[in-house]
Structures are given as structure tokens and as C-alpha cells.
Copies of this chain bind each other. A is one copy, B any other.
Amino acid sequence: MYQASVPVFIRGLKVLAALLEKAAAHAEANGIDPAQLVNARLAPDMYPLSGQVQRASDASKFAVQRLSQNEAPKFPDNETTLPQLQQRIADTLAYVQSVPPEQIDGAESRKVALSFGDFKPEFQGDDYLLTFALPNFYFHVTTAYGILRQAGVPIGKMDFLGPYPQQGGSGA
């Protein structure tokens, strides 16, 4: 359970941080107001980039909290700049990395009950991770990627998938 959760979230959060770095560099190099990127969205009723980063943070934070029962920090969702979003990711990483494997291994049979208005799913820990928390997390990281790609930030699939320490070749 630990292997399928904490290192996966760490990796995804680092991917997200690297995407935001490229976004900041792109804005700087092209005289674009970074706020345009922070507020960009794929559809009028979808979250902008800032909201996607906040939800990716929450998806990983709450998953680790629910599985480990280790209280997570509260974040007020008040980030409005790329550096503030980077700090949010760093704070999320600090919490996720602080939870030891022994608090998560064994959580596969722990009951996880969620509540979103009338939608109140109940899961076993392993189903929660595999069919809710991970897809939700990847949804927001991927949507952040899509927003930046659509906005012209020079990123590619390898920015989402890589890097891999095991890789041979040039890593291009």
C-alpha cells in the first residue's frame, strides 16, 4: 500500500512542480503575465490552473491522511501566483514524505468513508486508493498539464511521464 501511494504521489507532485517551473520560465521569456497562466482553464466551469494544483495537493494529502490516519496540515486555497502554488506543492510534499511506511502498510482493509453532498461512497482502503484517490490525483495533474500545453508552454509528454532513474539512452 505504501509503494502504491506515497512514492506515487511524491513523483506526481514533483512532476507538477516541474511543469510550473517551465510555465514560469515561459512567461518570463515571452513577456506573459504569469497570472494569465494561473487563471487559465479548459472550460468556463472547470478550475483554473491554481485550482487544479490545489486539488492535486488535496487529493494526495487526503489520501495519505485517510490511509495513515496521520493528521495533515490545512491549506486555505489562497494561492494566486506561481511561487505560491510551488509553495503549496512543497508543503504537500513535506507532509506526504513525513508519513512512515508502517502507518500505511495494512491500510488496504481500513474503511474509508467519504461524503460529497448526497454522494457518500464507502471504500476499503485499497479500493479507495486505486479507484478514487489515484484517478482523482492524476485527473488534476493531467488537467494542469493540458492547461499549460494549451497556453503554449513548451512541455511534452516526457514532462508528465519522466524522468526515470533507471533509464538508459539519452533521456531525451
Contacts and interface: CB of A to CB of B under 8 A. Distances in A.
Interface string A134-147: 11101100110110
A12 B134 CA distance: 12
Interface in A3-34: 3-4, 7-8, 11-12
Interface string A97-133: 0000000000000000000011111110011001110
A76 interface: no
Instruction: Give the oligomeric copy count.
Output: 2
Contacts of A3: 126, 130
A145 B145 CA distance: 13
A122 B172 contact: no
Contacts of A46: 146, 149
A167 B121 contact: yes
Contacts of A122: 166-168
A119 B166 contact: no
Nearest to A127: B166
A160 B172 contact: no
Of listed A43, A120, A135, A152, residue having the most chain B CB within 10 A: A135
B143 A160 contact: no
Nearest to A139: B142
A127 B131 CA distance: 18
Please give me the 8 A-B residue pairs with the lowest Cβ-Cβ distance, nearest first: A138-B138, A118-B169, A142-B142, A118-B170, A121-B167, A121-B164, A120-B168, A120-B169
